Amino acid sequence: MSRKFIREDYLKLDIKFTPVLPAREIAIAYLSELDFEVFEPTEFGLMAHIPNLNIDRDLLNEAKAKLEAIADDMVWAESIVETENWNAKWEEEYEPVKVEDRVVVRAPFHTKSDALLDVVIKPNMSFGTGHHDTTWMMIKAMLGLELKGSVVLDIGCGTGVLAIVAKLLGAERVLAIDIEEGAVGNTIENAALNGVCIDEDFTIDCGTSELLASKYNGLNNIILANINRNVLIDDMSSYNQVLKQGGSIVFSGFFSGDVEIMKMEIQALNWTITSTLERNGWACIICGKPAL
């Protein structure tokens, strides 16, 4: 679902969770059903916006109660963003993202950059505009991989930014998968904005990791997985099954405090950890599956 620039007041939710994950992802699922239009991940939780006219207070209270039940602690704050210049103010504050002075991720309303790679991502509700630290680190990690001529899987693609970057950096084939239909739509839209054609060389599918073994087994030189710690750990055996020997995998979506747990799971599969990135409390691990 894309943003609707309706000239009216917006309700802004600022929700903090302990622990943050998986509560934040569950909150997005609940609130997206209530016509919330913009989600902004924060270090401690989530900010979300909805036009006042779209609010169903009973459903919102029901969602709040459900979220209170799944988190050890939740702080729920509401405020009103006034109508005046909502779109202009939002666009003014939404700045392009630069990664290593080589990649710029920007919105359609920004001026084209002169970076090596200029990527256009329409800001929608799905994660992946490049602003989140995990997306930034994933792109930085990709710049150190041999993407040209590779087959790349982006699992949990969100807006499709990583899949699009992979294709623009020369990947021969890219497969983008997300559990949310809205994310699939976002990826299709953003691919078009970047001149990437949806065909057998850039495929988008809706589903879980179960799709990997059934439809995309053994194809991938590189796997990109920016989700959350619990999902990553649960699905590692699936990734191992479909990653070619000698292939690379990049994980993010978890906190710096989760690095050791992630490393234990990675080492249990006999993968080699190449490097670890950390940024503002978030982490990214780049690893490889040894060649035979």
- What pLDDT score does 282 carry? 85
Instruction: Read off the pLDDT of each residue in 114-138 and give the average, rounded to a whole number.
Output: 79
CA dist list (Å): 196 to 163, 189, 201: 10, 10, 10
Question: pTM of the full predicted structure?
Answer: 0.72
CATH number for 127-288 (one of 3.40.50.10470, 3.40.50.1220, 3.40.50.150, 3.30.70.360): it is 3.40.50.150
- Decide: 277 and 99 in contact? Cβ < 8 Å: no
Asked whether the domain spanning 127-288 has the same topology as the one spanning 10-90, the reply is no
Total number of residues shown for the chain: 292
The string of pLDDT tens digits covering residues 46-101 is 888 887 888 899 999 999 999 999 889 999 999 987 655 444 555 556 688 899 88
In the structure encoding, which two tokens stand for residue 135, read together? 């997306």
Give the model's pLDDT for residue 130: 63
Boundaries of every domain in the chain = 10-90, 127-288
Residue 163 and residue 154 in contact, taking contact as beta carbons nearer than 8 Å: yes
The residue ranking higher by pLDDT, 181 or 194, is 194
Sign of CA dihedral 248, 127, 46, 277: positive
Q: Looking at domain 10-90, which CATH architecture does it have?
A: 2-Layer Sandwich (3.30)
